[in-house]
A and B are shown apart, each in its own frame.
Chain A
Amino acid sequence: EVQLVESGGGLVKPGGSLRLSCAASGFTFSSYSMNWVRQAPGKGLEWVSSISSSSSYIYYADSVKGRFTISRDNAKNSLYLQMNSLRAEDTAVYYCARGYCSGGSCPPGGNWFDPWGQGTLVTVSS
């Protein structure tokens, strides 16, 4: 069974840092791009970052560029999101999602996102 499990969320003060992890199982992790998507409480989904299968291509939303760093360890089947200089507006549930490419030329994060993990809550508050 394909599974993604996020961890590392919690309460952090403004200006602080947090590192999220996403453990993948049930598929060949090194063959797929991966993504982080977040959802603020009561709000919609927001794409955060994408990383290609070999980490050659990395992209960020403008709202997190310069503060967040996406990375992966294919040997450990794991995806990470290092979040620095956190702000109140970064409060959200953070989901990792596999990017699926149907073949040919695909965007760095895949043509669509499937599956998604259950999410981990990050709360930025003093």
Chain B
Amino acid sequence: QSALTQPASVSGSPGQSITISCTGTSSDVGSYNLVSWYQQHPGKAPKLMIYEVSKRPSGVSNRFSGSKSGNTASLTISGLQAEDEADYYCCSYAGSRGVYVFGTGTKVTVL
């Protein structure tokens, strides 16, 4: 199972909006509404930011939103803040053998 494809890096100025794409296949992202997104600061454990494509856990800022179209999921961060600078990973269930696949990861830089 190959990793989902994410851009290596995305940057934006404070207050701007950025979008991170996560491209998979019809066997994973395209088949299941089970895409989740995780934020990871250096040396820290990943933190859930979005689940089931577009749902936001309690405690996560409404500046974070998710969507999906076909085989590509997206995470949008609006009103970019310095604390949003981190690595972001998407994840999708890939069915059949109970497999999950993560994205390659995107480093978000706040300019």
Contacts and interface: CB of A to CB of B under 8 A. Distances in A.
A pairs with B:
yes
Contact of A59 (B46, B47, B98): B98
Given A112-B34, A112-B36, A119 B105 contact: no
Given A44-B102, A47-B101, A61-B99, A107 B46 contact: no
Interface residues of B, number: 26
Contact of A116 (B34, B46, B102): B46
Interface in A69-111: 95, 97, 100, 102, 107-109, 111
Size band of the interface chain A makes with B: 20 to 34
Contacts of B91: 45, 47, 112-113
A109 B52 CA distance: 14
Given A44-B89, A45-B89, A114-B57, A50 B51 contact: no
Interface of A: 35, 37, 44-47, 50, 57, 59, 61-62, 95, 97, 100, 102, 107-109, 111-119
- List of 6 A-B pairs having minimum Cβ-Cβ separation, nearest first: A59-B98, A112-B51, A112-B36, A114-B48, A47-B100, A44-B105
